[in-house]
Chains A and B, each alone.
Chain A
Amino acid sequence: MSGPLTDAVRSDLRLWLAQRASAAVLAACVVVHLALIIYAVRGGLSAAAILGRTHGSLVWLGFYLVFIAAVAVHAPIGLRQIVREMTGWRGRSLDAVAAVFAALLVVLGVRAVWGLFA
């Protein structure tokens, strides 16, 4: 440990910063995603229409991988904070559950993106 922060406080600070940084990334991603959804839903959705756009597109692959990474940071930290404030649950076990949720989002997210790209 260097500097005046304890390890616990340093960890708090890093989580807070990760939450804000991922929020900034998500702000950009969400604008694109909302615009896309609102546009794409005209005339109904079909697999052909969606896959036609995403299949083989490195741009969409890259965009959604960044989106998934940011969500996998942002959502678990947010949920963990809600649980810590509204229930008595805190400590290592809660941190572990949050990490598992993050992993779940990455796995399911990458699977979905791959399904649309490949």
Chain B
Amino acid sequence: MNLSGHRAHASYGAFVVHRLSGLALAVFLPAHFWALGTAIEGAATLDGFLKWTDQPLVKLAEIGLVVLLAAHFAGGVRLLALEFLGWRAWQKTAVAASAGFSLAAGLLFLLNLGL
């Protein structure tokens, strides 16, 4: 992906993060619903799946998903504010704040995992 030249600025980066995180979440969602749907077959099946998620690689992926969700959320809030509140002076700060929020969410998740 080319992020040089006319694309080398914060708001473009925010656009890319928002688009890629949205794409990843959209791909993840059907799998997420499917996995939770195993609960229909009873607690034992769900427990079996949850045990599988105890592996370190899966936990790492989960942290990644939390960060992606938080990033997409923060970027989306920035966009809604920009489009509907005409919020201008804080643009760059908003991008930075979004990034900070995402990382904070990921970190909180990580800490709560007890790792």
Contact = CB atoms under 8 A, between A and B. Distances in A.
Chains A and B come from one and the same complex: yes
Contacts of B83: 20
Contact of B43 (A30, A41, A51): A51
Contacts of B35: 112
A30 B26 contact: no
B94 interface: no
A58 B112 CA distance: 27
Interface residues of A, number: 38
Which size class do B's interface residues fall under?
A: 35 or more
B80 A23 contact: yes
Contacts of B60: none
Interface centre among A26, A48, A75 (most CB of B within 10 A): A75
Query: Which of B23, B26, B54, B109 lies at the interface centre, i.e. has the most chain A CB atoms within 10 A of its CB?
Result: B26
Interface string A11-30: 00000000010011011001
Interface string A56-75: 00000000000000010001
A41 B37 contact: no
A5 interface: no
20 contacts: A27-B73, A27-B80, A30-B73, A34-B69, A34-B73, A38-B66, A41-B109, A43-B114, A47-B44, A48-B47, A50-B39, A75-B22, A82-B19, A105-B29, A105-B30, A108-B30, A112-B33, A112-B37, A115-B37, A115-B39
